[in-house]
Amino acid sequence: MKQIEIRQAARTIAVPEGMTILQAALANSIAYPHGCRSGRCGSCKSRLISGEVELLKHSGFALSDEEKSQGLILACCALPRTDAILAWVSGDEQLPDHPRRQLDCRVKAIDNATHDIKRLQLDIGEAEPLVFTAGQYARLTFPGAPARDYSMANGPGERVLEFHIRRVPDGATTEHVHQRLRPGDPVVLEGPFGSACLREQHAGPILCIAGGSGLAPIKAIVETAVAQGMKQPIHVYFGARSERDLYLVEHFQGLTQRYANLRFIPVLSQASVTGHWRTGYVTDAIAHDLTYLDGWKAYVAGPPLMVEAAMQITRARELRAEDLHADVFFTPTEKLEET
pLDDT at 42: 82
Domain boundary among 30, 53, 88: 88
Q: Are residues 168 and 277 in the same domain?
A: no
What pLDDT is stored for residue 37 in this prediction? 81
User: What pLDDT, on a 0 to 100 scale, did the predictor assign at position 64?
Assistant: 86
Q: What is the pLDDT of residue 337?
A: 38
- Please tell me what DSSP assigns to residue 304: H
Whether residue 312 sits in one domain with residue 237: yes
DSSP states of 26-73 = HHTT-----SSSSSSS-TTEEEEEES-EEEPS--TTTS-HHHHHTTEE
Res 91: pLDDT: 62
Does 213 lie in the same domain as 171?
A: no
Q: What is the DSSP letter of 288?
A: H
Q: What pLDDT shows up at residue 275?
A: 84
Instruction: Report pLDDT for 33.
Output: 86
pLDDT at 150: 95
pLDDT score, position 335: 40
* Same domain flag for 225 and 142: no
Question: What's the number of domains the chain is made of?
Answer: 3
User: What strand order describes the sheet that includes 234-240?
Assistant: 278-279, 262-268, 234-240, 206-211, 297-302, 324-328
In this prediction, the residues of the chain whose per-residue pLDDT falls under 70 are: 91-94, 329-339
Q: Mind listing the pLDDT tens digit for each residue in 234-280?
A: 999 999 999 999 999 999 999 999 999 999 999 999 988 888 899 99
Residues 6 and 117 in one domain: no
Range of the domain at 235: 206-334
Whole-number pLDDT of residue 96: 76
Whether 136 is covered by a domain: the verdict is: yes
The pLDDT, as a whole number, for residue 326 is 86
